[in-house]
Chains A and B, each alone.
Chain A
C-alpha cells in the first residue's frame, strides 16, 4: 500500500515510503522531525500548518504526502537564509511584537511570504485578507499586520527600512 516518493524540503531531498492516507503535515512532523510546522485543527481552518508547495501556500494538514512526489516544499525551518541571519519576515515579526504564544507564527510567516513574494507593498486590507486563513488567539492580529507591512518594506529596500 505504501508509495515511494521523493520530495524536496527546504532544499534537502528525501526518499520516503508513505501510506497514501498520511498528510504532508504528519510526514514533516513525524518522519522528517520538522516540527516547526504546527497542527492546529486538521481541517484547513486555522492555518497553523501552512507551508509552501512549489511556491504556493497550502494547508499541510489537507495535503496528501503521496501527492508531494517531485515537489519543492518550504517550511518555517527553511525561511531563514542561515542560522545567523533571519528572513526579513522573521525579523519584523520579532521586532514588531507579532509573536506571543508563537503557535500560529510559522504558518503566519509563510502566508506572509505567499503575499509578499508577489506584492511587497500590500495595503492593510490586502494583508488582512491574505492572512484571514491563519487564526491567532493572542495578538489580535494588528501587530502581525504591521510586521508584514514592515517585512514588505525590508524586502523591497533591504538597506533602508529599519524599525
Chain B
C-alpha cells in the first residue's frame, strides 16, 4: 500500500503531548526531526495513523551546559546545534564529534540527538559516547516524570524502555569526572559520513596512571548498543598499558554478538570491535592524561 497516510498533531506542551499519546496508543508515533521516522514510513516499515510532532513545545530544543548539573540536550535540539555548541565542544568534545559525524549536513539540520537515541537503532552514532558518559534519559509520561540510565533504555532494535504514553524530554550527561577522557571511533566504507558498520564509544577516568573507571560501549554489534563490562573490569584499578588495552579489546569483542548484514559480515565486525576498542581506549586515555 502507499506509504502511510497519517494525521499530524503538534501539541505545545509536554502534558498535551503525553495526553495525545495516551489517547492515540500504538498508532501514534512521536516525531522530532523526522529524518528516521519518515524514511521508515516510506519503506513501509512503520505505518502510523498519526504523527505527534514535538517541535511546537517551547523550550524542548534547549541545550544547557553547566558545571554542576552537566549537559542537558532537549528532545528537539538538532544534531547540528549539538555539534556546533561551544560548551559541548569544550566539556563534552566526543558528544559533539559523534553528533557532527551523524549522517550528513542536511540530516543534521533536521534530525535530533534524542531522536537518534529513541529510534534505538543498534548503530545509532550518538548512543555509545552518551552511554559511556553515564547519560540519563528524562522521561515524561501519564504518571509523571522519571529518569533512567541510557544504558537501560535500549531494549532491542527499534525498541526502548518507554512505556505507552511516555516521551523522552531530554538527555542529561553528568559533568565529566576529573581525569576523564572519552573517544568515539566508527567505521564505514564511505568516509566518516556514513551509516556505521561498527561504532565504539569509551570513557576512561585516570588517577595518576591507574584506571579508576572505564566504560566501553559498542554499537552495531548486538541488538542494542552494548556495554562490554568484562572488558571494562579488566581495566579498572590497573595501569592502562597498551598491552592491557589490547587484552581488554579482545574481551570486548568476545562479549559482542554481531550479525551479518548489508554493511558488514559478523566475523569482520568482531574483528573491528577489537580494533576500534583499542583506538578508542587509546584516544580516551590520551585525553584523560591531558585533563588530569
User: Does A touch B (CB under 8 Å) in the complex?
Assistant: yes
* B175 CB to nearest A CB, Å: 30
Task: Bits for B82-122, please: 1 = Cβ < 8 Å to A, else 0.
Answer: 00000000000000000000011111011000000000000
Closest CB of chain A to B284's CB: distance in Å? 24
Per a CB cutoff under 8 Å, which of A1, A43, A63, A129 touches B39?
Answer: A43
A58 to B80, CA, bound (A): 11
Q: Which of A64, A130, A133 contacts B38 (CB 8 A)?
A: A64
- The prevalent SS among residues of B at the interface is loop
Partner of B110, one of A19, A42, A58, A111: A58
Interface string of B44-84 (1 = CB under 8 A from A): 00000001010100000000000000000000000010000
Residues of B within 8 Å of A56, CB to CB, are 80, 109
A:118-134 near B, CB below 8 Å = 129-134
State whether A3 touches B105 (Cβ < 8 A): no
Does B268 interact with chain A (Cβ within 8 Å)?
A: no
Task: Select the stretch in B3-11, B128-136, B176-184 that faces chain A.
Answer: B3-11
Instruction: Tell me the complex Cα distance, A59–B103, Å.
Output: 12
Do B109 and A58 touch (CB < 8 A)? yes
* B1-39 contact mask (Cβ, 8 Å, vs A): 1 or 0: 001111110100000000000000000000000110011
Q: Are B110 and A114 in contact (CB under 8 A)?
A: no
* Number of cross-chain contacts by CB at 8 Å: 76
* A21–B35 touching, CB < 8 Å: no
**Pair A133/B53 contact, Cβ less than 8 Å:** no
A50 to B110, CA, bound (A): 12
Within 8 A of B (CB), among A70-89: none
Closest to A118 in B: B84
> With A58-B110, A62-B38, A64-B34 given, is the CB distance from A44 to B103 under 8 Å?
yes
**B4 touching A133 by the CB < 8 A rule?**
no
Given the complex, which residues of B lie within 8 Å of A19, measured CB to CB?
Answer: 5
Is B191 at the interface (CB under 8 A from chain A)?
yes
Which A residues are CB-close (under 8 A) to B38?
Answer: 23, 62, 64
Known A64-B34, A67-B53, A67-B55; contact A114-B105, beta-carbon cutoff 8 A? yes
- Report if A50-B106 is in contact (Cβ < 8 Å); known contacts: A21-B3, A21-B6: yes
In the complex, chain A residues whose CB is within 8 Å of the CB of B289:
none
Known A-B contacts A20-B7, A132-B191; A43 and B42 likewise in contact (beta carbons under 8 Å):
yes
| In the complex, residue of chain B having the shortest beta-carbon distance to the beta carbon of A110 | B106
Cα of A130 to Cα of B193 in the assembled complex, Å: 10
Is there an interface contact between A132 and B105, defined as CB atoms closer than 8 Å?
yes
Q: Which residue of B lies closest to A115 (CB)?
A: B105
- Chain B residue nearest to A23 (CB atoms) is B38
When the two chains form their complex, are residues A47 and B193 in contact, meaning their CB atoms are under 8 A apart? no
CB distance from B80 to the nearest CB of A (A): 7
Chain A residues near B193 (CB-CB < 8 A): 129, 132-133
| Chain B residue with Cβ nearest A131 | B105
Q: A residues 33-76 with Cβ under 8 Å of B?
A: 42-44, 47, 50, 56-59, 62-64, 66-67
Residues of B within 8 A of A42 (CB): 42
Once the chains are docked, how many angstroms separate the CA of A3 from the CA of B56?
15
CA distance A120 to B123 in the complex (A): 34
A114: B residues at CB distance < 8 A:
105, 109
Cβ contact within 8 Å between B39 and A133: no
- Once the chains are docked, how many angstroms separate the CA of A134 from the CA of B104? 9
Bound CA span A19–B8, Å: 9
Extra contacts besides A21-B5, A43-B42 (12): CB < 8 Å = A21-B4, A23-B38, A44-B39, A44-B104, A50-B106, A57-B105, A57-B109, A58-B106, A59-B107, A67-B53, A133-B106, A133-B107
Contact surface of B with A, Cβ cutoff 8 Å: 3-8, 10, 34-35, 38-39, 41-43, 51, 53, 55, 80, 103-107, 109-110, 191, 193
9 closest A-B pairs by beta carbon, nearest first, are A133-B104, A20-B8, A132-B193, A56-B109, A59-B106, A43-B39, A58-B110, A62-B38, A133-B106
